[in-house]
Structure formats: structure tokens, C-alpha cells
Amino acid sequence: MLPPFAAEKRGRFRRLWDRLRSLEGALLPPFLLVAALMACKTGRIDIYTCPDPCEECEEPCACAEGTCVPVPPLGWEGPVLLWHGPPEGEPACPARAPAPVYEGHRGLKTIPECAQCACSPPTCQLPERVSASATSDVCLAGLETRMLPEGWDGACVEIEPLVAPESLRVGATSVGACEPVTITLQKASFGWETKAKGCVAAGAAEACARNHEVCAPLVETERDGFELCIYQRGDGRTESAQPGWGTSCPVGFPQVRVFYGGVADDSTCMPCSCGEPEGSACDGRMMLHEGSGCQGGRQEMLIGLDGGSCTAPSNPIPEIWSVEAALVLDEPGSCKPAGGQLVNGGVLLEPATFCCR
């Protein structure tokens, strides 16, 4: 038998226990909530199958297959997974972001396709005139000139008679100009050193616990070469800039990359031209005949590029009715071509700025 004071103490404990049992239904849910909150501070609880339930206590399964990043500022799109590299190595969009949303390039390669300029050969040309004076032996007073046919090939040609020539002057030979060879292709072709590809997840993005974050695909750059970026389109000109356009990347996306959607061909080639003939030698003889049809007595004169001097023949013929000529040294030389250089190398179009983590 218990002492009186022990029996009284035992009675008070039983009454307290019965009272707690009567409040069990009301106290258990708050107790479990406190336990869950404490678990996020002190350890894990295996209620949710999420990567880190203690990181997302308010919404433990938010963005379970991705990563939460800052919401892009006004004027920026994304986030996207971006790949860039040699065009021949372009991969397909990864399974975690299977929808392509951007294709672009950088590293424009301008390939000139101007035809090489060349020049037609020059030609030695015969004199264009013959002159005679019947009153002066130095080709001064009474000098009469007869023009020979344009492009004359030296065949016998009749002229209005030159009577009793005391002195004679025959024009110099000349060298006909070179002509540029016709060019059929005057532009450039283009290629790219680098191709870019942007991919996003299919369907609506999952929510993140923080309102200022958005769920983005996981980054596995070392495995597949894709990095996480935001981007904006536009050419950057003041009158057509997108809202928020600028050259600085937003916070959280510090690495800038710029790509282009295409190129406008503004290329052309400098027209071909030819320099003056060089290394020319055009020497020959001209025969002046006293009869028509290059018959009868004749007076022979040397012709050349430095001709045109006056000659007093030692045995002049009384009249000159016809002339003929022939080249003895027909070496017209050559001309240096010029031109054919590419002008302009294409205008880059549709720039897009990517800022990456």
C-alpha cells in the first residue's frame, strides 16, 4: 500500500495523461508540421522523391528536372540551351530541350570569285599619213598631207597625187591599245566559321519556388557542348532596337556571344583595265610609187615608232600616186592588266546577342 503523498502524486499524473489523450487529435498535425520544418534544417525526410526536398520546402517538387535561374529582363528571351561550333559538327537538340528556337552564324568567310583580269595583245599599226613639200627640202613651206585609210594593213592604196616632192615626211608607226578580256563573274561567295543553335524545353516551363526565378534545362556542357543563355534579337540601331537592347549582359549571364542570321551580298569586282603597251618594236618600210597601183618608180622610206622626221630624197620621183607598206619588225609587246579586286565583302544581317552563364 502506497503512502498517502505517493498516491496523491500518482493520481495527479493520471489525470494529466488522460487530458493529453483527449487532446491528441488536435495536437498531432501541428506537431508533424513542426517536425517537417525542423527536418529541413537538421536533416532529410523521405516524403518526396525530389532532388533536394529541403531546398524547396514550400513546393518540394518545383523544377525537379531542371535548374532555377533569374527571370530574363525585359527585352530578353530564354533561357535556352546554346551550342556553337564548326557547322559540320552541329548536334541535334538534347532530349531535355528538344525544340530548336534559333539558328545563326558568326565568323563570316568572304570568298572572292572575281575572274582574273587579262588583256588582249597590242598590235603594231602602220602610219596614218604621208606628207610632201614641193618648195622646201625641210618639210616647211607648201607641205601637203594625204591621210591613209584607218586601220590600214599596208596593201597598195592610191592617193591624191603629191607633185614634185622636194622633201617627204611619213607618220610614225604606233601600237594599238590592249583591251580587257571580258569578265563573266563579278561577285563573292560566303561561308561561316561557326554555327549556333538554340534549344528550349517542350511545353510550359515548370515553376520555381522563388517568383524571380524560372525553370531552365539542366546544363551539361562538358557532355554535349550546350550552355545556358538568354538572348535578344535586333540590329542594335537606335531606331529599331528592342526594349532593353544593349551591349551589356544582365546579372547572372555575364558571357556575351553575338551571332547573325545571314549576309546580304553587296560585293562586286573592280573593272578590269589595261596599262600602256610595254616592250614594243614596230619597224618597217613604206614605198611611195609614181604610178597608180603601186607601179613605176618608187621612193622607199623607213618607218618606226620614233618616225615622223623630214627626209629630202636624193633621187626624188616626179609624182606620188600610190603607197604601200610592210612591217619588218612586228613586236607590239604586252600590257599589264589591272583591276579584278573584290569590293565589299557582304553585310551581316539579323544579329542576335546571347548572354550565357
- Does 304 have pLDDT greater than 50? yes
Please check whether residue 108 is in contact with residue 348, taking contact to mean a CB–CB distance below 8 angstroms. yes
**C-alpha cell read off for 57:** 520546402
Whether the full predicted model's pTM is greater than 0.85, yes or no, is: no
Cα 104 from Cα 195, distance rounded (Å) = 6
Identify whether residues 351 and 221 lie together within a single domain: yes
Average pLDDT over residues 37-54: 43
d(CA 278, CA 255): 59
Pair 92, 139 in one domain: no
310 - beta bridge partners?
A: 169
86 HSE (CA, 13 A, CB side): 2
Q: Do 102 and 195 sit in the same domain of this protein?
A: yes
Lowest mean pLDDT among 5-9, 58-62, 230-234: 5-9
Within-domain flag for 30: no
| Segment 105-155, tens digit of pLDDT | 999 999 888 888 899 999 999 999 999 999 888 888 889 999 999 999 999
Q: Does a structural domain hold residue 22? A: no
Q: Is residue 240 part of a domain?
A: yes
DSSP state of 259: E
Does residue 199 share a domain with residue 255?
yes
107 and 237 belong to one structural domain: yes
In this structure, the answer to whether residues 196 and 313 fall within a common structural domain is no
CB 111 within 8 A of CB 191: yes
Q: Are residues 237 and 327 in the same domain?
A: no
Helix (H) or strand (E) holding 298: strand 298-303
Highest mean pLDDT among 4-18, 33-47, 269-283: 269-283
Say whether both 293 and 251 belong to one domain: no
Is 118 part of a structural domain of the chain? Answer: no
Same domain for 223 and 253, yes or no, is: yes
CATH number where 164 lies = 2.60.20
How many domains are contained in the chain?
2
Q: At 143, is the secondary structure helix, strand, or coil? A: strand
Tell me whether residue 181 is in a domain.
no
Range of the domain at 98: 66-113+190-263+344-356
Residue 163 burial (CB count, 10 A): 12
Same domain, 70 and 109: yes
Is the pLDDT score of 40 beyond 70? Answer: no
Alpha carbons 52 and 45: distance in angstroms, whole number: 10
CA 323/CA 338 separation, integer angstroms: 39
User: Is 13 a member of any domain?
Assistant: no
